Structure 1
Amino acid sequence: MKNYRYFIITMIIIMTMINYVDRGAISYAQEDIINEFGFDNIAWGSILGYFGYGYMLGSLFGGVTADKKGPKFVWLIAGTLWSLFEIGMAFAGEIGMALFGGSALAGFGLLRVLFGVSEGPIFSTISKTNANWAAPRERGLLSALGLIGVPLGAIITAPIVSGFLVISTWRVLFVILGLLGLVWIIIWYKVFTDYPEDNKHVSQEEIESIRSTEETVHGEKTVETEHNAHEKWYHFFKSPTLIFNMVGYFGFQYINFLILTWTPKYLQDEYHFEIHSLWYLGMIPWIGACFTAYFGGRLSDWLRVKTGSLRIARSGLAIFGMTLAAICFLIIPTTNQIGWIMFLMMLGNACIFLPNAVYWSVIIDTAPKKTGTYGGITHFFVNSATIIAPTLTGILVTSYGYSSMFISAVVAAVIGIIAMCFVKPGIKKMKPTS
């Protein structure tokens, strides 16, 4: 098959969409769950944040395992487990009351942690897959395509979940979503291999195109040319580029999870929208991101060719996008008109997704043979945002109101901007290994 790698990327997009519907569903089911079990805002923020504890661990060990065992092994194990734990969410309250002295909160906490562990490896494994399957000239594009499932998944979560909850229950919803993930895993097992060279559907011509180094720029590394492939995991912390890239990515992830987890409750609490209205309102913040997540990757690759500078193509694009996002979120607390607020949320979210692929491209540019391990380390620390954002927001809105939610997004964006000023893709500045 010609350009089989794009079929693989399409399958990854579908998986990422399922992944994000799975993790976003609980935010739309929050009213039914809260009413049934009596959670307050702080408890609900904790439930949303428990996911992040598992997510951090899963991303770290998933990345290391992808380097050692190959991405296919990680895909199959992680996908099967997260689908089963998604089904388990339907019974989380009952599990907690049976096992933890009548505490439904503990049951939701346990299932959210386990769900997070199983979903954690996905993005470092996507990065490892791209390192194996993408030519240097396509890294930004294929990284963007692999990640475009994030806003696409988020945008379809609103109509799918809201619509389903109108006609059925939140428990049935979680069971169906889990079964859908298992179907994807069965198909993936049949069509994917760790390397294109091992796949019977990939032509020799396509393999040569993927492995071509003719269009590499200064400092850029490939799977074929990178030295120190056996360096230890802790060498990550000798690289200022990788460390600052991680901090920059944290800023993105904080805003991403803030919008994903708290937008439905914000709209219900502040503007008294019912669940049947959220099917379209919940889509709005993600509309622009569906386009910028894709075009950001293309723009990064275009800048790479036109300027010959990975720093402009990666770091510069991230600084530009996060600056625009900070401006948007800073304006939101100054207005109470829902139309303007939704527009600014959409625009701000679109701006943070413009450089979404950059953070993973920097890792591939700098250490392609250690992409799984270094991607896992990056995602481990970055995913502290998946705990901090929903948990801190629950505390902030209780104490200071919902305006504080958007101010915290501005602070996260500024942290990301400052960090990306120090990112020099392709340059590790680490001592050679013996």
Structure 2
Amino acid sequence: MPQPNGYSINSAPLDKSEDIEPLIENDAVPPQCCSARLNLAFLMFLGFAVVYGLRVNLSVAMVAMVNTTDPKPSQNTSIIHACPLPAGSENTTDTFPQPEGTPQYPWDSETQGWLLGAFFFGYLCTQIPGGYLSGHFGGSIFLGLGVLGTAALTLLTPLAAQMGSYWLFALRALEGFGEGVTFPAMMAMWARWAPPLERSRLMTLSGSGANFGAFLALPLTGYICQTLGWPAVFYLCGGAGCLWAVFWFIFVSNDPRTHRRISEEERDYIINSIGSQGTGHGWSVPVLPMLLSVPLWAIIVTQMCSNWSYYTLLTSLPTYMDNILHFDLQSNGFLSALPYLGAWLFSTLSGVVADSLIERKVFSITNVRKLFTLAGVLPASALLVAVSYAGCSHILTVTFLTLSTTIGGATASGVYINQIDIAPRYAGILLGITNTFGTIPGVLAPIVTGYFTKDHTLAGWRMVFWVAAGINVGGALVYTIFGSGEIQPWAGTKEESAEAKKDRSRSIST
């Protein structure tokens, strides 16, 4: 029985009894190797690696920036450690030595939580405007400026920290403000660049740069902090972002029609396979139908729930490695990075498998998105709970965390790219909407974690992991019930509406 959603968004209407075929036959598809669309995915991959490095470097550097994890203990009490300290470190007052003259600050756990969450206050503000403007004008300028602006502001981090925690909070919020446009701009660009049968692999490849960036930034931050001092982290990361922006503005175009180095064969393939959905949506968007769309709300709820666990680990895992397991700063960064190496590899692989299942008509787009969401969420949540019972075992903790985040990478081919399935023309603004709601956990999770873990106990961290896992599973169930991969009625173009009317007229006349 043919799937109702089809596999090419502009294929000719067929009778329901006919099999749905791709618009472009396999032997007519230009190779991906060295293609303009693959080069775009690779540049996006590097861009998101940079911005996620800029986002997470404070998580590790924070351990070096504060002079103690509990700067104001009571005079008549001693700190009780949840796990035993490594041999020879009981009498050490400076666990993470810095080069001479490197400043450190007396920030308590609550202040650190607010600083780690500050980024997301700004990040919330530009998601929807960024998606809307990217859908109208094209996403390349917004993605490029988003990365460049965030990188330039990162260079000011040491100065802001020296001026005080309020200044650093404001700077991180401004960085989030600049970076907020990047993911909506990416989605708007792929709406014009990604053929329907290649969406999963191209989008997961480019988006997996986020996990790769976290994987690189976490250990490198620890190493740089110990060798050059924590201010060097922000100078080097900011400089890398500025360098990337140069290549982006030279080699990238909003649309295959205006790309200077694309082959005619590839350009025609992309334009013909995407059809009228690969154009800008103009100034007007169907706001009310969007707000009433059940599949869109399913994405919103699921991303909010899934992001709670993701942001909890992204911002607080280095603190857990420090306060509970007492890893040194360099080991802390490396072990905190392992989960993101697995997620990077798993998400990229999931994109290839998802496209294959859709192209071979094994499952509909709807079922593929739900399958990969459940496959990524349920085992990952169970392993997250297992972390809370690993106690002081370094091996079990690192193993469970790595497996949890690795398997969670499968959701990259599920709910996280579903916006482009249900409304390709409006994918940028839809991702802006879903990411705005999905960023709320980025604000709340570090604050809640700081509240649960203010006494640095295993019981407090157990609450952190249980809450994250429970919220994650709840979101997956909502998506399984209400999610969809079909283009929504309000997302059609004028050309598609006219064609549908002609089809109905032909059906009546016959």
The two structures have a TM-score, normalised by structure 1, of 0.91
Q: Name the CA distance, whole Å, in 2 between partners of 1:244 and 1:366.
A: 12
Residue 260 of structure 1: CA displacement? 1.2
**1:304 aligned to which of 332, 354, 358:** 358
Q: Name the CA distance, whole Å, in 2 between partners of 1:304 and 1:320.
A: 17
Q: Name the CA distance, whole Å, in 2 between partners of 1:8 and 1:237.
A: 32
The answer as to 2:106 corresponding to 1:38 is yes
Distance 1:78 1:431, change over 3 A: closer
Residue 211 of structure 1: CA displacement? 2.9
Residue 419 of structure 1: CA displacement? 2.0
CA radius of gyration, larger in: 2
**Correspondence for 1:98:** none
Greater shift in the superposed pair: 203-212 or 223-232: 223-232
Q: Name the CA distance, whole Å, in 1 between partners of 2:425 and 2:489.
A: 17
**Correspondence for 2:39:** 7
**1:143 aligned to which of 199, 203, 213:** 203
Q: Name the CA distance, whole Å, in 2 between partners of 1:240 and 1:69.
A: 28
More helix per residue:
1
**Correspondence for 2:133:** 65
**2:463 aligned to which of 404, 409, 428:** 404
Residue 232 of structure 1: CA displacement? 2.9
The higher-RCO structure (CA 8 Å, 6+ apart) is 1
Letter in 1 for 2:150: W
**1:244 aligned to which of 275, 280, 298:** 298
Residue 227 of structure 1: CA displacement? 9.7
**Correspondence for 1:351:** 407
Greater shift in the superposed pair: 223-232 or 289-298: 223-232
Deviations 1:16-57 (A, max 9, x none): 111111111101111222222211111111111111111111
Residue 14 of structure 1: CA displacement? 0.7
Map 1:26-425 → 2, pairs under 5 A: 26-35=58-67, 36-95=104-163, 104-213=164-273, 223-224=277-278, 230-305=284-359, 306-336=361-391, 337-398=393-454, 400-421=459-480, 422-425=482-485
**2:51 aligned to which of 19, 25, 44:** 19
Partner of 1:223, secondary structure, is helix
The two structures have a TM-score, normalised by structure 2, of 0.78
Residue 429 of structure 1: CA displacement? 5.8
Contact 1:75 1:125 in 2 (8 A): yes
Letter in 2 for 1:280: F
Q: Name the CA distance, whole Å, in 2 between partners of 1:301 and 1:185.
A: 30
Residue 76 of structure 1: CA displacement? 3.0
Q: Name the CA distance, whole Å, in 2 between partners of 1:279 and 1:227.
A: 43
Distance 1:296 1:251, change over 3 A: farther
Deviations 1:187-223 (A, max 9, x none): 111101100110111011101222344xx9xxxx972
Q: Name the CA distance, whole Å, in 1 between partners of 2:478 and 2:151.
A: 35
Q: Name the CA distance, whole Å, in 1 between partners of 2:226 and 2:254.
A: 42
Contact 2:48 2:207 in 1 (8 A): yes
Letter in 2 for 1:142: L
Greater shift in the superposed pair: 45-54 or 252-261: 252-261
Q: Name the CA distance, whole Å, in 2 between partners of 1:325 and 1:367.
A: 29
> Which 5+ residue runs of structure 2 have no aligned equivalent?
1-32, 68-103, 495-510
Residue 308 of structure 1: CA displacement? 4.4
Q: Name the CA distance, whole Å, in 2 between partners of 1:152 and 1:365.
A: 25
Partner of 1:83, secondary structure, is helix
Letter in 2 for 1:116: G
Residue 304 of structure 1: CA displacement? 1.9
Q: Name the CA distance, whole Å, in 1 between partners of 2:281 and 2:152.
A: 40
**Correspondence for 1:99:** none
Count of residue correspondences: 420
Contact 2:45 2:205 in 1 (8 A): yes
Contact 1:28 1:158 in 2 (8 A): yes
Residue 87 of structure 1: CA displacement? 0.9
Contact 2:137 2:280 in 1 (8 A): no
Q: Name the CA distance, whole Å, in 2 between partners of 1:66 and 1:357.
A: 22
Q: Name the CA distance, whole Å, in 1 between partners of 2:122 and 2:296.
A: 23
Q: Name the CA distance, whole Å, in 1 between partners of 2:408 and 2:437.
A: 19
Contact 2:307 2:441 in 1 (8 A): yes
Contact 1:262 1:390 in 2 (8 A): yes
Partner of 1:398, secondary structure, is coil
Q: Name the CA distance, whole Å, in 1 between partners of 2:35 and 2:492.
A: 37
